[in-house]
A and B are shown apart, each in its own frame.
Chain A
């Protein structure tokens, strides 16, 4: 079985500060990890993914994520937050031969001016 945990329901940061949204996972075999963003009244949009290779993955809108195998984590990061980054962020994992992704509960990111 595969699972994802997003330990924070909400993250608040000031504009211009770095942000981190945490994600840990559990899966058998090699993980395929994803981050999605959901703006109000919209569907989830793909941000970035980790398949293999470099542990630091770069994605859309200046976001990046760091894969850490020993800690089974895939935290989402951005060096300088924008107010427009405020949204709901979902981590997802696939692996162990399953094509069906498992999504976390989501983390609400609030960037205040």
Chain B
């Protein structure tokens, strides 16, 4: 099992550019989560999907952020246009069936720097 795979590991871009972060969840997991981690705010849940359907996107900070899950093995988080305050580490996580005792499995994250 390769675990949750995220790409790229690092992304440096200029303000105003579009950024796309990618995630491949663990096969068979039907929940997928996108988190953002910063020193100031800690770990924030942005959005989560169940069976490829977005369930709660209330954590998405602005309309500049969008996420999709076109199939069970792939999800994207897009920021357009990007701003310096979007600089953070973005994590994708997946989980098994909707049981409250199921732990999350995290990818190694994408470190985004917007200059």
Contact flags A84-113 to B (C-beta < 8 A → 1, else 0): 000000100011001111010110000000
Q: Are B103 and A43 touching (Cβ within 8 A)?
A: no
Contact of A44 among B31, B101, B106 (CB under 8 A): B106
With contacts A100-B45, A106-B42 taken as known, whether A43 is within 8 angstroms of B100 at the C-beta atoms is no
Q: Is A41 an interface residue (CB 8 A)?
A: yes
Contact of A100 among B4, B56, B107 (CB under 8 A): B56
**Which chain B residues numbered 86 to 115 have a C-beta less than 8 Å away from chain A?**
91, 93, 98, 100-101, 103-109, 111
> What residue of chain B has the Cβ atom nearest to residue A34's Cβ?
B103
Q: Are A46 and B104 touching (Cβ within 8 A)?
A: yes
How many A-B residue pairs lie within 8 Å, measured between CB atoms? 47
A residues within 8 A CB of B103? 34, 36, 46, 49
Q: Are B101 and A32 touching (Cβ within 8 A)?
A: yes
Bound-state CA distance A51–B101 (Å) is 6
Q: Are B100 and A32 touching (Cβ within 8 A)?
A: yes
Name which of B93, B103, B104, B107 has the most chain A CB atoms within 10 A of its CB: B103
With contacts A99-B98, A99-B100 taken as known, whether A106 is within 8 angstroms of B43 at the C-beta atoms is yes
Q: Is the interface of A mostly helix, strand, loop or mixed?
A: strand
Name which of B43, B91, B105, B106 has the most chain A CB atoms within 10 A of its CB: B43
Contact flags A3-45 to B (C-beta < 8 A → 1, else 0): 0000000000000000000000000000010101000011111
> What residue of chain A has the Cβ atom nearest to residue B109's Cβ?
A43
Bound-state CA distance A105–B31 (Å) is 23
Q: Is B34 an interface residue (CB 8 A)?
A: no
B residues within 8 A CB of A44? 43, 91, 93, 104, 106
Please name 11 pairs of A and B residues whose Cβ atoms are closer than 8 Å in the assembled complex, sorted by A. A32-B101, A41-B111, A42-B108, A43-B93, A44-B91, A46-B103, A46-B105, A94-B100, A95-B100, A99-B31, A99-B98
Chain B positions within 8 Å of A, measured between CB atoms, are 4, 31, 42-43, 45, 48, 56, 91, 93, 98, 100-101, 103-109, 111
